[in-house]
């Protein structure tokens, strides 16, 4: 077993690699070869990446694909998607192309409010705390003037600070529940800085508040942090067309297709086991664009799944209806995104991806990403209710299997040709490849 190591972060990159391969890798030389083969040959670029995090020793590549033909509010976009799952970009492209001829996607931002909280313990009279809060509210705002100045110039800032009594949930627990507008920034640093200032003002003002008893003056700040639950930072994307135009399948009629889509969404609304997978498919599209545009996909995931449970039961993020022979399919979800700050201006590829999307504002990016989620869900559910997903999925996976088996380019061509008319399974691909190798 390797020994614990002190001062690891101080080692050079080479020393770190030596330590990794000698302690954990069975064939150290091969390990080093793999690690260094992922280094960027442009040393400046590699250095930039090295400095994004601590203890960087190499890079892990994720393919960056592009899904063209997205008509969004009458503008045509090609959407960059960073994802390793083989069928996702193909599915998005297919859905984009389908809706291109049917009016495209319509989107709307329903809200842009961000949230942060100061969590604190107050042992005393709630009425007195309320009076104290009303008295110090202007000071809470004033004390953040230097922090909010540049955000205010961009039209953002602190919208509201509320005192919330949470003592029914936890003894003596209160919070400052604060809302913010952060314009094109995701706003995490801005919000957290404001919250820490609120906490400090709250604490110091309490110490001097004459109506408090000695015990009441001792407010205990537990923590100050933004919330990734942003139910009022909401975006909607929608597609619709006459039912008769839903001619996706040769096996079922457009009417049957519409009915099955609606039924599939109803199931995802009432059955959490299905809803989780249904929403996972949506996140295939969302995360891929979030990642490609340098945004924080963990924050998005956390917020979206909490939103999916907002009515007390985990449910579908998409909705479907047929009314007056018109099929409608839409999504509503919270997306707190930034197109300035963070990696967005630092990472050359992220910058290029944003340029590819016409340098969107945060609100515009919310709409593009909601569309990517809706398109993904439309593609997945329409396959599920018709052919099943394995056909398309295995077609995309075929190349992975061939690469795993070390197939040559000419073997790949022959095997791909064979499976144009045959069912792909892992076994059948290996059998065909083995047969081919025996022949030659
Ligand atoms: C696979 O990554 C995503 C799907 O399972 C989504 C769904 O079932 O709706 C195909």
Structure confidence at residue 344 (pLDDT): 87
The residues spanned by each domain of the chain are 8-50, 64-111+231-387, 114-227, 393-439
| Structure tokens that stand for 409 in this block | 């380019």
The three-state DSSP-derived secondary structure of 314-338 is CCCCEEEEEECCEEEEEEEEECCCC
State which of 274, 276, 284 you would mutate to test the pocket of ligand 1, scoring each by most atoms of that ligand within 8 A of its C-beta.
Answer: 284
Percent of the chain clearing pLDDT 70 (strictly above): 100
Q: pLDDT at residue 392 above 90? A: no
The alpha carbon of 282 and the centre of ligand 1 are apart by a number of angstroms equal to: 8
What is the Å distance from ligand 1's center to 177 Cα?
36
Residue nearest to atom 9 of ligand 1 (CA): 278
Q: Name, in order, each residue with C-beta under 8 angstroms of 255's C-beta and a sequence gap of 6 or more.
A: 243
- 0.85 exceeded by the pTM? yes
Fold of 64-111+231-387: 3.90.770
| pLDDT tens readout for residues 86-119 | 899 999 999 999 999 999 999 999 999 999 999 9
Provide the annotated active-site residues.
Answer: 85, 280, 296, 393
Q: Which residues contact 247 (CB under 8 A, 6 or more apart)?
A: 254
How many whole angstroms separate alpha carbon 406 and alpha carbon 394? 18
* Same fold for the pair 64-111+231-387 and 114-227: no
Task: Return the pLDDT at 342.
Answer: 86
User: What does CATH list as the number for 114-227?
Assistant: 3.30.70.420
Q: Which of 376, 378, 389 to mutate to test the pocket of ligand 1 (most atoms within 8 A of CB)?
A: 389
197: which 2 tokens? 């200032």
Q: What pLDDT, in 10s, does the model give residues 245-267?
A: 999 988 899 999 999 999 999 99
pLDDT of 186:
95
Six-digit token string for 361: 């504002």
Taking a C-beta distance cutoff of 8 angstroms, is the pair 138, 246 a contact?
no
174-179 CB contacts, 8 Å cutoff, 24+ apart: 174/120, 174/121, 174/122, 174/129, 175/117, 175/118, 175/119, 175/120, 176/117, 176/118, 176/120, 176/140, 176/202, 177/115, 177/117, 178/115, 178/116, 178/117, 178/118, 179/113, 179/114, 179/115, 179/232
């Amino acid at each position: 077993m390797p020994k614990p190591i002190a001062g690891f972060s101080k080692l050079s990159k080479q020393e770190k690699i030596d330590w990794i391969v000698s302690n954990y890798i069975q064939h150290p030389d091969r390990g080093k070869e793999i690690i260094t083969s992922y280094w960027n040959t442009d040393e400046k670029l590699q250095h930039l990446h090295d400095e994004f995090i601590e203890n960087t020793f190499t890079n892990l590549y994720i393919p960056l694909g592009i899904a063209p033909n997205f008509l969004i509010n009458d503008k045509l976009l090609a959407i960059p998607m960073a994802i390793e799952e083989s069928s996702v970009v193909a599915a998005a492209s297919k859905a984009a192309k389908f809706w291109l001829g049917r009016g495209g996607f319509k989107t709307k931002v329903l809200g842009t409010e961000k949230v942060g909280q100061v969590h604190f313990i107050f042992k005393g009279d709630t009425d007195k705390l309320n009076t104290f809060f009303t008295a110090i509210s202007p000071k809470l705002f004033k004390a953040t003037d230097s922090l909010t100045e540049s955000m205010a110039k961009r039209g953002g800032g602190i919208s509201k600070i509320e005192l919330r009594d949470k003592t029914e949930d936890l003894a003596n627990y209160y919070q400052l529940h604060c809302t913010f507008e952060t314009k094109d920034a995701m706003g995490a640093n801005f919000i957290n800085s404001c919250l820490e200032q609120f906490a400090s003002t709250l604490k110091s003002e309490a110490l001097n508040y004459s109506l408090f008893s000695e015990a009441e003056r001792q407010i205990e700040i537990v923590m100050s942090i933004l919330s990734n639950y942003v139910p009022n930072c909401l975006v909607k994307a929608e597609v619709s067309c006459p039912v008769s135009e839903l001619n996706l399948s040769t096996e079922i009629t457009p009417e049957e297709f519409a009915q099955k889509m609606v039924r599939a969404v109803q199931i995802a609304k009432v059955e959490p086991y299905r809803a989780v997978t249904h929403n996972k498919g949506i996140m295939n599209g969302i995360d891929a664009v979030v990642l490609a545009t340098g945004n924080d996909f963990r924050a998005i995931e956390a917020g979206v799944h909490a939103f999916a449970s907002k009515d007390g039961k985990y449910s579908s993020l998409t909705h479907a209806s047929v009314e007056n022979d018109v099929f409608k399919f839409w999504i509503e979800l919270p997306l707190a995104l930034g197109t300035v700050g963070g990696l967005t201006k630092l990472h050359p590829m992220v910058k290029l991806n944003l340029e590819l999307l016409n340098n969107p504002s945060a609100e515009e990016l919310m709409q593009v990403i909601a569309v990517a989620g809706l398109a993904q869900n439309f593609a997945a559910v329409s396959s599920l209710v018709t052919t099943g997903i394995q056909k398309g999925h295995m077609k995309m996976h075929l190349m992975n299997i061939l690469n795993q088996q070390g197939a040559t380019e000419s073997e790949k061509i022959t095997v791909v040709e064979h499976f144009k008319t045959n069912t792909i399974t892992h076994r059948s691909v290996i059998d065909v490849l083995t047969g081919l190798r025996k022949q030659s």
